[in-house]
Amino acid sequence: MAAGSFVILTALPLTAAGVFLLGWFGLLIGLIFVPVLLVLFPLGCWRTLLVIAADRVFRLVILPPHQDVLLRRFRVPFSTQSKYFLSSPSFPNNILWRMLQTGSVVFLFASTATPLLATIRTPTIEEDWFFGLALVALCLVMPLIALLWLYEDSGVRAYNKESGTVSKVGTWIQQFVFGTGVATSFWKFTQTIQGGTIEQISLATILFLILIPPCLVVTVVFHRNLQPMFVKRFRMSSSSGFLAQRNVDFRDPENPG
């Protein structure tokens, strides 16, 4: 019901605008464009990546220490003494934070990439570039974050022997992405728009009205309809079997006895 309400809230203003501008043809575009391009297509991308990559990414990317070089390059603190283990699966009681993560990734990606790629700086062209890049982020970048959500909800944790702490998979990625100032990046993007304050406010409002509802819808539908299935699949995968066989010593390194 909540997901359906989000879809309705997304479709109504865009469909109304289409009817106002293009008549019945605009109504047809609004009813097809919103559910298919902004909701069903991104969900299809999320589902496809998790079906294909969840087990492979964990075995080939997460478990081996290949990411150490990348972490050093970005000066991210890490420990070579960490071991992954499997605990009981758990789902968040509230997905508000994950909904905010989705919006943050989409707006951060589009705000950063649009000024670099839009060679002609007019409000209309920049709006088109921003919308297109935001859709790319929702369909291709966010599934990578959804992978981290999947590992977290499946019960995968990392135990650091040095500090005696337990953390989630990819914590440093979420800290890097969501700590780079999404609001600041979007604000700087709007300030580069030519035409004055009215054009800047109008463009920012339109982008929010169009992009925020699909971000919320996709996140809600994913967690309610797809995530439980993927958690079950991952816990039955070869990666899960490998983790279940690992012995992790939880003794305090400073107090081994």
Cα separation, 150 vs 89, whole angstroms: 10
Residue 97: half-sphere exposure toward Cβ, Cα within 13 Å? 8
Cα separation, 122 vs 124, whole angstroms: 6
Residues in Cβ contact with 99 at an 8 Å cutoff, skipping those fewer than 6 apart = 215, 216, 219, 220
Q: Is 193 exposed, middle or buried (0-12, 13-18, 19+ CB in 10 A)?
A: buried
Cα separation, 210 vs 13, whole angstroms: 9
CA–CA–CA angle 39, 45, 51 (5° rounding): 130
Domain ranges of the chain: 51-244
Q: What is the pLDDT along the chain (257 residues), one digit of tens a residue?
A: 444 444 444 555 555 544 444 445 555 665 666 677 778 899 999 999 999 999 988 888 777 665 555 555 555 555 455 678 888 888 888 899 899 889 999 999 999 999 888 877 777 888 889 989 999 999 999 999 999 999 999 988 887 777 777 778 877 676 666 656 777 888 888 888 777 788 888 888 888 888 888 899 899 999 999 999 999 999 988 887 777 655 555 555 455 44
Q: Residue 167: beta bridge partners?
A: 158
The pLDDT score that the predictor gives to residue 151 is 92
The pLDDT score that the predictor gives to residue 194 is 74
Cα separation, 5 vs 7, whole angstroms: 5
Phi then psi dihedrals of residue 194, to 5 deg? -80, 150
Cα separation, 185 vs 49, whole angstroms: 28
Residue whose tokens read 């990666």: 239
Cα separation, 190 vs 210, whole angstroms: 16
**Helix (H) or strand (E) run with residue 6 in it:** helix 2-22
Closest to 156 in 3D by CA, of 166, 168, 144, 147 = 168
Tokens of 121: 């700086």
DSSP three-state, residue 167: strand
**Helix (H) or strand (E) run with residue 33 in it:** helix 24-33
> What is the pTM for the complete model shown?
0.78
